[in-house]
Amino acid sequence: MALVQSTLDARAAIYRHTIAAGEPWMGSVKRGQFFRIVDLEGNQAVDTLFYRAGLLEERYSAQDTVTAQGSIYLTTGTRLLSNEGNALLTIVADMCGRHDTLGGACSAESNTVRYAHEKRAMHSCRDNFLLALAKWGRQYDRDFSKRDLASNINFFMNVPVTPAGKLTFADGISGAGRYVELRAELDVTVLISNCPQLNNPCNAYNPTPVEVLVWDTK
């Protein structure tokens, strides 16, 4: 779980945006560009979907990625593979140490099952994803739905796996200002839910903003 710092200067980024606590964001990163997510205050979970640009049918695959690298956690050197076996992005710097890709995204249904029936109406990552896809789809005269959602990465989220194979949600191992940085191997569309979760310690029970940055090719 070695930490690897980036050599890129934030002042040279061609794009910088702060995603408010609990809100979605959708954007594009071109092949060869670098994309960084910064955990501004620490312990924030950032649920992220990656698609091949212009082809949402090809998207990040947790199964293919985990199988190819032989590890259930993601960190520097991990190649994020698509359901077609193509590398979408590579993690090139990581100041957290590992990221989850097994725990999935919170939804009305999972909040109800995991916590209590009255939690069903709480805002969730699934809501954020669908809202962002609906807005994006209007630009292209196309309707998106739950079937367009795939496996996601929970950047900065700590989900230990027990010897019995059970997933557990634990206090985060990130901190204020820590980041993960990726290089796009293809043109990709990025969909983020800056997780609004209030029921488990992934956000320290207090969702906070994160920042995304993009640099041009070196």
Q: pLDDT tier at 56 (50, 70, 90 boundaries)?
A: confident
pLDDT at 119: 55
DSSP per-residue codes, 75-107: -TT-EEEBTTS-EEEEEEEESSS-EESSS----
Residue-range domain boundaries for the chain: 14-210
Q: Is the pTM of this model over 0.95?
A: no
pLDDT digits (tens, 9 = 90+) for 161-217: 878 777 776 777 899 999 999 999 999 999 999 988 777 677 778 899 999 999 997
The span from the first CA to the last CA of the chain, in angstroms, equals 26
Contact between residue 156 and residue 45 where contact means Cβ atoms under 8 Å apart: yes
In this predicted model, which residue has the larger pLDDT, 23 or 108?
A: 23
Helix (H, G, I), strand (E, B) or coil at 212: strand
Q: pLDDT tier at 122 (50, 70, 90 boundaries)?
A: low
92 vs 137: CA distance, rounded Å: 31
209 vs 38: CA distance, rounded Å: 9
pLDDT above 90 for 158: no
Residues 110-132, mean pLDDT to the nearest whole number: 68
pLDDT above 60 for 113: no
pLDDT at 148: 78
Contact between residue 50 and residue 61 where contact means Cβ atoms under 8 Å apart: no
Helix (H, G, I), strand (E, B) or coil at 36: strand
22 vs 195: CA distance, rounded Å: 5
pLDDT above 70 for 141: no
Half-sphere exposure of residue 138: CA atoms within 13 angstroms, side-chain side: 5
Q: What percent of the chain has pLDDT over 70?
A: 86
pLDDT at 124: 75
pLDDT above 60 for 121: no
Q: What is the mean pLDDT of the chain?
A: 87
Handedness of CA 80, 28, 144, 158 (dihedral sign): positive
Minimum mean pLDDT among 65-79, 81-95, 113-127: which range?
Answer: 113-127
DSSP per-residue codes, 126-178: HHHHHHHHHHHHHHTT----GGG----EEET----B-TTS-B--------TTE
β-sheet bridge partners, residue 91: 182
pLDDT at 140: 58
Minimum mean pLDDT among 16-25, 150-159, 160-169, 179-188: which range?
Answer: 160-169
102 vs 59: CA distance, rounded Å: 16
Minimum mean pLDDT among 16-20, 77-81, 162-166: which range?
Answer: 162-166
Q: What angle do CA 190, 200, 160 make, to 5 degrees?
A: 75
Contact between residue 28 and residue 184 where contact means Cβ atoms under 8 Å apart: no
